[in-house]
Amino acid sequence: MIKDASQSSIPSYSPNTPDQRVDPLFFKNPARIFLEPYQQLGPIFRCHFFGSEQIAMAGAEANRFIWAENELWDYYKTNRIFREQFSDRYLNQLEGETYMRKRRRINQGFKPSILLSHVPDMGEVVFREIDKLKGEATDLRLFCMSLVIAMVSQVLLQEDLPERMDKIMAVSNQEMLKSSSLGWKRWLWYWYPPKRARRRVIFKYLGEVLDRRDQSGVEKDDILSLILAAHPKDQPPIPRYELVHDLSQLFMGGSTTSSMIIAWGMIESWKDKDWLTELRAELKSWDSTQFESMKPFPKLYATSLEIERLRPGIPTFRRFAKQDFEWDGYSVKKGESVLHLHTLCHFLEEHYGDPFTFKPQRFIENPVPDRDIHGTYGGGQHKCVGLNLARVAPPIALANILSQFDLEFSPTPSGKERYLSVIAPREDVTVRFISKT
């Protein structure tokens, strides 16, 4: 509900940091740092963040308003880091009917029935990736990102990736997302030679995939085939560069959030021994080769939802106002930067009791989160295009890992966070998988 605008100024949050910037606090405590100004100043306030002054908007009413009012937001400017690193055909920075046409085409590959048919292959990847470690410890974050990318390859292309391609993609995605916090310095970062070299390797491989698919003429039931088939026959062919960029997005777009659901799912379950015992008891009947539905595994599904809530991958989203508007008694001008705190509701007592505690039981009692409160994947027309896959891949990985392996972390995870293009464990954690059989 839009209130009448007043003449008063939007209150400001001025932390005791150099130049009163929020950045130093955010990088150490990304999910919750905005709770204090929200509670003291209300659902709209100004702050200095990532190099500029921004208007923060938070709470359930802010989510509902922002996700419903698509015409207010300049996605061309908001998601410019994708256009700058790819092209003006990249999905996230499109608007209006152009965006909707492309999104409808891509959505054809993410139907639940299609994704579920590839669960056995995705499950097998988990065991294969762990086998490659030969019992040695591995970097937790890089392993989980590489694992998600390798799993996605099965449903996206129905083929295994070349040696080390999963890790190259994982690092490249971190590098791509890093630019969102660099301000004007991102232009220097774009030209960082190792970053550019990794992108060339990835684009060359994806181009070869498209060439093979074009030459073979063999139709598959993977995401790529369905997206290609959804292109209208009376329209010009999709440019090759656009297909390469789209494949890159589909491979790596969810690797950040999904990988951290797996990583934090392992950590939180390992720390909560009682819950781990209950979860493993449920998973005694788990067999990813026979998987048909998440319904027989409510504790597994609740674990993933609670990690989405407690450790949201990207806790803030920067937008630019496309026109003047009024909200909660204040005016926002065209061109102003709006910091959407879309996951702050995850930590408000009125929505979740004991919000700072890992309590997956809450999602057994209520397995369908409120769409205006549970903001991990955004909302409205621009919510995450890979949402259905993001709700399938992490539980599969967690089930296969927790049912078959004990975990040995080094150092012991403290449970504290940091922002590293995504909410990650504060420590550089390694994990070793120890077979239970």
- Where in the sequence is the domain holding 148, given as residue range(s)? 18-435
Within a domain: 12: no
Residue 424: which pLDDT band, with cuts at 50, 70 and 90? very high
Q: Are 373 and 351 in contact (CB under 8 A)?
A: yes
- CATH number of residue 107's parent domain: 1.10.630.10
Within a domain: 2: no
Q: What is the mean pLDDT of residues 97-110?
A: 90
Q: Are 187 and 166 in contact (CB under 8 A)?
A: no
198: exposed, middle or buried (C-beta count within 10 Å: 0-12, 13-18, 19+)? Answer: buried
Q: How many CB atoms lie within 10 A of CB 356?
A: 14
DSSP state of 21: B
Which residue, 395, 429, 305, 298, is CA-closest to 358?
305
- What would the two tokens of residue 217 be? 């003429």
Taking only the tens place, the pLDDT of each residue in 327-350 is 999 999 999 999 999 999 999 999
Within a domain: 6: no
Determine the straight-line distance between the first and last CA of the chain, rounded to whole angstroms: 57
Which residue, 257, 252, 251, 237, is CA-closest to 89?
237
pLDDT for the residue numbered 218: 65
Within a domain: 396: yes
Q: What is the mean pLDDT of residues 20-30?
A: 92
Within a domain: 1: no
Within a domain: 338: yes
pTM of the model: 0.92
Instruction: Tell me the C-alpha to C-alpha distance, in Å, between residue 166 and each of 150, 153, 229, 245, 315.
Output: 6, 9, 26, 16, 25
Taking only the tens place, the pLDDT of each residue in 129-157 is 999 999 999 999 999 999 999 999 999 99
Helices and strands, counts by H and E, the chain: 20, 11
Task: Taking the CA atoms of 302, 29, 148 and 138 in sequence, report the sign of the dihedral they define.
Answer: negative
Residue 3: which pLDDT band, with cuts at 50, 70 and 90? very low
Sorted by sequence, the CB contacts under 8 Å of residue 383 that are 6+ apart come out as 67, 377
| Backbone phi and psi for residue 346, each to the nearest 5 degrees, phi listed first | -60, -20
Indicate the number of domains in the chain: 1
Which residue, 45, 50, 20, 1, is CA-closest to 344?
45
Within a domain: 5: no
pLDDT at 4 over 50: no
Beta strands 330-332; 325-327: pairing state:
antiparallel
* Range with the poorest average pLDDT among 2-6, 108-112, 355-359: 2-6
Within a domain: 8: no
Q: What is the mean pLDDT of residues 305-324?
A: 94
Q: What is the mean pLDDT of residues 224-245?
A: 89
Q: What is the mean pLDDT of residues 311-316?
A: 92
